[in-house]
Structure formats: C-alpha cells, structure tokens
Chains A and B, each alone.
Chain A
C-alpha cells in the first residue's frame, strides 16, 4: 500500500508540483514578466499576459520541418533530452520549505550538472542541423560555455564552502541558523547573476544566437513543436537557475523572522516568498538585458577570465579566511 502511495507521490512531484505543470506555467509567466518589464523600461506597453502561452500554442500547431541533410534522430531527440534535464533539476531545489523533494549530500553538483545539459543540447542541435549559421552558433555556444561555467560553478560552490555541506537543502538549513553569513556571499551572488546571464544566452551575452549576424544561432533550422519545446526549456531553465540562486544566496523560501502558526501556513508563505525572490532575480536579469548591448564572444571570454574568475577566487580566499578564523560560526 505504502509502495503505491510513494509512487503516486513521486508522479505527483514530477508532473504536477513542483514538476512539469507548475514549471510550465511559472516559466511562461517569467517570460511574460521579463518581456513586460523590458517593454516598460523602454517606455512602451509590452505584450499581454497570455503572450508566451499564445506563442507556445502557435508553435505547436505549426508545420514541422526536418532538414533533409540533418541527422534526424539527433535533431528530434535533443530538445526532449534538454527538457528532461532541466525538469529533473527542480526536484533538488527547495521551494516551499527548507528541504527539497529529494536531497542528498552532493546534490548541488548534480543540479549544476543538469543545468549544463541544455548548453550541450544546444550544441548538438546546432551541429546536427548542418546549417552554416547553426554550426557557427553551436561553436559559439560551447566557446561561451568555457567562459561562464567556471565563475558560475565557483560562485555556486562558495555557499557550500562556508556552510560546510554540499546539499542545497543543507545549505538552506544552515542559512536559517546563521543568516548573517549571507552578507559574506554578496560578491558570489553578483558573480552568479552575471554568469547566469551568459548561461541563459541573453543580451548582453547572446553572441551564440545573435539574430542580426547568424540568424538565431543553433536553433535556425528548428520549427514547430521542437522549437516550442526549446523555448519552453529556456524559460524553465531561467526559473530553475533563479530558484537555485535564491536558495543559495537569498535564503530560498525562508521568511525572516519565521511566523508562528500551523505548518501549512508556513509552507504557503514560504512558497509566496520563493516566488517573490525568484522574480527579484529575474528582475535583475531583465535589468541587465535592458541596460547593456551585445558584446562580442572574445570580449565575453576576456571579461569572464579577467574579472569574474579572479573575483570568485577572492571570494574563496575570503571564505577560507573566515572559516579558519572561526568567525560567523
């Protein structure tokens, strides 16, 4: 009996909350929020609330073309592969209380790995489309990967270093005990947000999909439902990365100070706090998209290796100093 209940619960987690259904709607909402904010910052009205949903439905209903020269198997499997990768990552991120649906010592590394899959999927998608533009886009995707991934990993591992645990839920429960440590992590937070922008391939780091030069990069040949899945995957990736940053640097769904009362009210409030904090991270990303213009790929690499990585090493040294002196313990 309890076996069946467990399986049903797992299915519920995967498909409804916090899995597919929640991420679907929240991902579309985040795209709306991003585009609307972008529009408001440019002093225009912007798209209506249902816009991302309309785009999604329209793409699903469009003709589906596979280029003759493309590798058909790879071409169709890659979007689903990336999609499954990002969906799995949410299970390890706390959404309504300090521990996530699943957690074990080291799940931080698993989540970082799962969030890398979309970049490789994009590479394979572009490479196997056998279009000149998409191949340039694919190569740029991987070149960019070497730039942003190292500072992003460094920044995300900094909380693990100071909290002394490699599990996201563990980091969060440590944060509840000593929230003042978060002040030490401001530098890592800034680095994480900047490299996240590059990870999501958004302006100013969107050289891999530069529409005006290489016509949309890796996804040039994608149409119909495969493009729809890719776009949805990008939205969900944005949500999950924002959720990860929220959990690591902003205290996740934890409300300071905690409210007394029955448990489910705490969960509900935690969920609301989680939504607000992720929207704040999305707000920062949108801000960056509005204010800056696209940089070249070599400028991005120079920036990552010249600024972000040294700064993250400074952050590491600071944390090691703090730990060895026993401050904030």
Chain B
C-alpha cells in the first residue's frame, strides 16, 4: 500500500452538513463525535470548512431549496472526496417522501459512497459506516 493511500485512510476529516432533516440525525452525528466513541483514534476530526474536509456527512433529504447549495458545497471540497448519507431521510427521503418541497435522498444531488439507514441511526452505526468506507478504500 503506498504512503498517500495509507495517509488518506488514516486521516479522514469530516464536514457535518444538514440538508433538510429533522435534526435527529445531526444530534446522533454529534454524539458519534463525542469523547465516548472517540473517533479521533481513527484520525477523524470535525472540520468547519468544506475546503479542509475529505468526507461530507449528510443528514436529511434534499429539499428543493438546499439542492444547489449542497452541490456547491460538494464542489468546494477538494479531491479526493467522499459522501456519507446518514439516516433514512438521506438514503431515500424517509418520512418526508412525497412532500412538495423534497426531491429525495442525497444521491439525487451528489454521488454517495456509504448509506447508513435508521431513523436516526445509532452513533455506533455511524462510526461503523465510516469504517466500512475506509475498508472499501483500502481494498480499492
């Protein structure tokens, strides 16, 4: 395994982005970032700016209002970048399916690498989702 790939796997910095969810998944993502699950041991750090991030953690369905903004934030993240969809809403629009202002899951706007279903998913499941993504990267 070459050095760059190793470094990429060891240091995924995340950007936390709500695209229109009910805030339930946000709280679970924050809980996953708290000392209890200690994601820093995998090198995961929360970043404020999309420019610094490698991994966008999206929650909630894509609303019509949010679509352009999500695409713009996606484009602001430097390559290589990955996207995680957290929660049933982010996967399929969940309970908001069919609303007049909702387009659907995150993959309606930007490509998604990992889906973590649940309403909301357990913090452990979110961390597990990141680990699945890293394993996928390792094997690629």
- By a beta-carbon cutoff of 8 Å, the part of chain A in contact with chain B is 35, 39, 42-48, 50-51, 53-58, 61-65, 133, 211-212, 214-216, 219-224, 227
Contacts and interface: CB of A to CB of B under 8 A. Distances in A.
A47 B79 contact: no
A55 B43 contact: yes
Those 9 A-B pairs whose CB atoms lie nearest each other, nearest first: A211-B48, A57-B7, A63-B78, A44-B38, A215-B48, A54-B10, A58-B7, A63-B79, A216-B48
A47 B12 CA distance: 12
Contacts of B1: none
Nearest to A211: B48
A223 B6 contact: no
A222 B10 contact: no
B137 to A, nearest CB: 12
A223 B48 contact: no
Contacts of A219: 49, 52
Contact of A42 (B11, B35, B79): B35
A48 B46 contact: no
B47 A57 contact: no
A42 B47 CA distance: 20
B49 to A, nearest CB: 4
Contacts of B46: 211
Contact of A58 (B36, B47, B54, B79): B54
Contact of A55 (B11, B36, B41, B48): B11
B79 A35 contact: no
A65 B4 CA distance: 19
Contact of A62 (B41, B47, B78): B78
A215 to B, nearest CB: 4
B64 interface: no
Interface residues of B, number: 23
A64 B79 CA distance: 9
Chain A interface, >50% SS class: loop
B3 A57 contact: yes
Given A35-B40, A62-B78, A65-B78, A51 B11 contact: yes
A51 B47 contact: no
Given A50-B10, A211-B47, A227 B52 contact: yes
A65 B8 CA distance: 18
A275 B3 CA distance: 29
A54 B2 CA distance: 12
Interface string B29-46: 000000110101101001
Nearest to A221: B51
Contact of B49 (A48, A62, A63, A215): A215
Nearest to A215: B48
Interface string B65-83: 0000000000000111000
A46 B41 contact: yes
Contact of B48 (A51, A57, A63, A212): A212
Contacts of B6: 54, 57
A51 B47 CA distance: 16
B65 to A, nearest CB: 21
Nearest to A52: B11
B4 A216 contact: no
B51 A65 contact: yes
A268 B81 CA distance: 46
B76 to A, nearest CB: 8
Given A223-B52, A224-B78, A61 B38 contact: no
A65 B40 CA distance: 26
Contacts of B49: 133, 215-216, 219-221
